Amino acid sequence: DQEAKTEFPIPANVFAEKVVSVQHYTDRLFKFRITRPASFRFRSGEFVMIGLPNAEKPVFRAYSVASPSWDEELEFFSIKVPNGPLTEHLQKIQPGDTVLMRKKPTGTLVNDALIPGKRLYMFSTGTGVAPFASLIRDPETYEKFEEVILTQTCREVNELTYAKELVEEVINDPLVGELAAGKLRLHTAATREPYPCQERITTLIENGKLFEDLGVPRLDPAVDRGMICGSMEMINDTKAILEKHGLEEGSNASPSTFVVERAFVG
Ligand code: A2P
């Protein structure tokens, strides 16, 4: 493979890291882990720009860091976009390969952007679960909230595997397991296959089924906090519903009762 053998200089302001492991879940989804540069600091929930050293001017796409800030490696959960400028190559990476990462993390799905509350809802679709994979492994999340409810909606049942395995892992983790036990809950739905819960999260909030399933009261801005990560349409629709329930969008500069970030595709 001629292209793979060509070596391009590493651009300025990027880390060149090694792939540690790759796991494919479906023909549309995979996870990969890379080495973490010693100087790289981020807040759980933030994203970075990821690329490959396969061109003079590499293509970069935004990826939420899925691992928590204490982890020695960095984890990412990715979609495989047919003919996607980055993901058509990224989906072929193997342990030992090089991945580029721009040095500066950023993002609004961070604990600091929410004012204190009792119950934190993390609403995700597809790879939008990635920033929450970071936050549910961060002890700070459990110091700040009494209940942490992660929801993921996917088209197909198999696409929920990453989140299911992750939550299982968190509960059994020697570091955060004790903190998460009794606090962390996962609610999953698959919209295009037979599944116990087969509706969009927006429908589940509006018809109250989400709260019935969980055995908790409906959304209350006095105690409930939200984080949203999914497609643009999912974000806008979910945001409108939270606002209808009296929650307000916050940011790093102005923390409030919910925050949003789009799940990036490329
Ligand atoms: P649906 O199957 O009804 O479209 P996608 O891959 O298109 O981002 O979708 C991922 C999941 O998010 C699917 O289960 C999809 O449901 C759901 N979804 C798509 N758009 C919205 C929306 N505007 N609000 C809530 N859920 C959505």
How far, in Å, CA of 265 to CA of 48, rounded? 13
Q: Please list the residues that pair with 29 across neighbouring strands.
A: 79
Report the atom number in ligand 1 closest to the C-alpha of 203: 25
Query: Are domains 2-102 and 111-262 of this chain identical in fold?
Result: no
User: Nearest Cα to 213, choosing from 234, 190, 188?
Assistant: 188
The interface predicted TM-score of the complex, written ipTM, equals: 0.98
Inter-residue contact 160 to 193 (CB < 8 Å): no
* Interval between CA 200 and ligand 1 midpoint (Å): 7
The per-residue pLDDT for range 209-251, each reduced to its tens digit, is 999 999 999 999 999 999 999 999 999 999 999 999 999 999 9
Quote the ligand 1 centre to 263 CA distance (angstroms).
Answer: 12
Q: What is the 3-state secondary structure (H, E, C) of the chain?
A: CHHHHCCCCCCCCEEEEEEEEEEECCCCEEEEEEECCCCCCCCCCCEEEEECCCCCCCCCEEEECCCCCCCCEEEEEEECCCCCCCHHHHCCCCCCCEEEEECCCECCCCHHHECCCCEEEEEEEHHHHHHHHHHCCCHHHHHHCCEEEEEEEECCHHHHHHHHHHHHHHHCCCCCHHHHCCCEEEEEEECCCCCCCCCCHHHHHHCCHHHHHHCCCCCCCCCEEEEEEECHHHHHHHHHHHHHCCCCECCCCCCECEEEEECCCC
Domain 111-262, architecture per CATH: 3-Layer(aba) Sandwich (3.40)
pLDDT in tens, 112-136: 999 999 999 999 999 999 999 999 9
Ligand 1: residues within 6 Å at CB? 125-126, 153-155, 191-192, 200-202, 231, 233-234, 237
Which residues, other chains included, contact 121 with Cβ-Cβ below 8 Å and sequence gap of 6+?
Answer: 149, 151, 219, 224, 225, 226, 227
Residue of the CA atom closest to atom 3 of ligand 1: 191
Out of 127, 151, 153, 229, mutate this one to test ligand 1's pocket (max ligand atoms within 8 Å of CB): namely 153
How do the domains of the chain map onto residue ranges?
A: 2-102, 111-262
pLDDT value at residue 6 = 63
Beta bridge partners of 55: none
Which ligand 1 atom is the nearest neighbour of the CA of 153? 14
Say if residue 1's pLDDT is above 60.
no
Check pLDDT > 50 for residue 37: yes
Q: Is the pLDDT of residue 4 over 70?
A: no
Please state the φ and ψ torsions of residue 118, each to the nearest 5 degrees: -100, -45
How confident is the model over 163-179, as pLDDT tens digits? 999 999 999 999 899 99
Task: Identify the pLDDT of residue 35.
Answer: 98
Report whether 134 contacts 49 (CB < 8 A): no
Domain 2-102 has CATH 1.20.120.10: no
CA of 189 to the centre of ligand 1 (A): 10
pLDDT greater than 90 at residue 263: no
Can you tell me which atom of ligand 1 is nearest the CA of 230? 8
| Arithmetic mean of pLDDT, 54-81 | 95
- Check whether 2 has a pLDDT greater than 50: no
- Ligand 1 nearest atom to the CA of residue 200, by list position: 26
Nearest-CA residue for atom 21 of ligand 1? 234
